[in-house]
Amino acid sequence: MRVIGFSRGRYYVYIDREPLVGHIAFGVIDRGTNVLQIRPTTICPYSCIYCSVDAGPFSRHRQTEYIVDVRHLVKWVRYVYDYKGGDVVEGLIDGVGEPPTYPYIVELVSSLKKFLPRVAMETRGGTLTKELVDALARAGLDRFNVSIDTLRKEKAVYLQNTPWYNVERVREVVEYIVRETDIDVTLTPVWIPGINDEDIEEVVEWGLRIGVGKRFPPFGIQKYEVHKYGRKIPGVREPTWSEFRDFLEVLENRYGVPLHYKKLDFGIRKTKAVEPIYRVGERVVARVVGSGWLWREVLGVDYRENVNITIVDIDFSPSLIGKRIDVRIIRNRDSIYVARKE
């Protein structure tokens, strides 16, 4: 890995040699289903007021943005795919950044399509152009999950906290995708109670009108959730799951389409998962390879097991690079490893 930039107090790091399993922000994540999450970049140009991963120019918690080398990433996806005996139905390019801004996104999709049955991508849509959409269609992209929380211009600028975000342009591009390409669209707005209730309804009406969801569920409404390092909207309470279900049920009855995630059929099922290498509480030696994603984190690697380990509660300094540190594992779920210095 190498530092390719430093801006607004953040490192920009290119990863081309380190393992790509073990970190939540980049690489490959297997949560024990037939869908693999593929994370090529942490960079996002928006600063949504509710962002659960505190992305974008206004981030307060991030120390590093990562960009992964495309060939290296495909090699690791293939490794996890083979480990699972090929029991993978979809590669979902998602993450804590905005996938279409990844400079090698077309190459990534076409390389993945050589062995994955389908490839989908999450996006906010503001950086999509018809040219990029056409290139992704030729590369074999199967679906966009477009997160569009309102159709109103000013409200979209407020929610995305991005003056240049033009939801009317996003609408045009989405309509182009549905009309002119084989790529399907699932609309995935975030419901924020009291902020965009009517807007969600308008998004559903618009989606039905233009014909999203030709092969996949047309909608996958998301719930506003508050996370420790995410952004919170002052004065807005996170809805409970039953409030969320009740809200969706009203719309489901009105429009006759399933909206609750438990009713949506993306063909996802449980499969063999990558086994956690460590137990929680286990002592491990990690070598520091760079700055951590968030402040007070460093990025470590266990080269014996070939996995990343995030070491928390430690300040990064370049003098730490190459040092071996004794750590104790505090998280191992989904083969994402977090540890604390001993």
Residues lying near ligand SF4 in the complex (CB under 6 A) are found at 44, 46-48, 51, 53, 55-56, 98, 124
Tell me how far apart the alpha carbons of residues 210 and 212 are, in angstroms, rounded to a whole number. Answer: 6
> CB-side exposure of 240: number of CA atoms within 13 Å?
3
Q: How far is the CB of 262 from ligand SF4 (least distance, A)?
A: 23
Which of 51, 204 has the CB closer to ligand SF4?
Answer: 51
Which of 19, 100 has the CB closer to ligand SF4?
Answer: 100
Question: Crossing angle, helix 70-83 and helix 105-112, to 10 degrees?
Answer: 30
Q: How far is the CB of 165 from ligand SF4 (least distance, A)?
A: 9
Which of 42, 291 has the CB closer to ligand SF4?
Answer: 42
DSSP string, 156-179: HHHHHT-TT--HHHHHHHHHHHHH
- The answer to whether residues 128 and 115 touch, using CB atoms and an 8 Å cutoff, is no
Q: How far is the CB of 59 from ligand SF4 (least distance, A)?
A: 8
- The answer to whether residues 4 and 13 touch, using CB atoms and an 8 Å cutoff, is yes
Q: How far is the CB of 26 from ligand SF4 (least distance, A)?
A: 13
What kind and span of H or E run contains 80? helix 70-83
Q: How far is the CB of 210 from ligand SF4 (least distance, A)?
A: 22
Here the tokens at position 210 are 């233009």
Q: Dihedral (C-alpha) 155, 159, 165, 170: value to the nearest 10 degrees?
A: -80
Which of 48, 259 has the CB closer to ligand SF4?
Answer: 48
Which of 168, 180 has the CB closer to ligand SF4?
Answer: 168
Radius of gyration of the chain (CA): 20
Which of 90, 98 has the CB closer to ligand SF4?
Answer: 98
Q: How far is the CB of 124 from ligand SF4 (least distance, A)?
A: 4
Distances (CA, A) of 239 to 138, 172, 194, 235, 260: 40, 31, 10, 12, 14
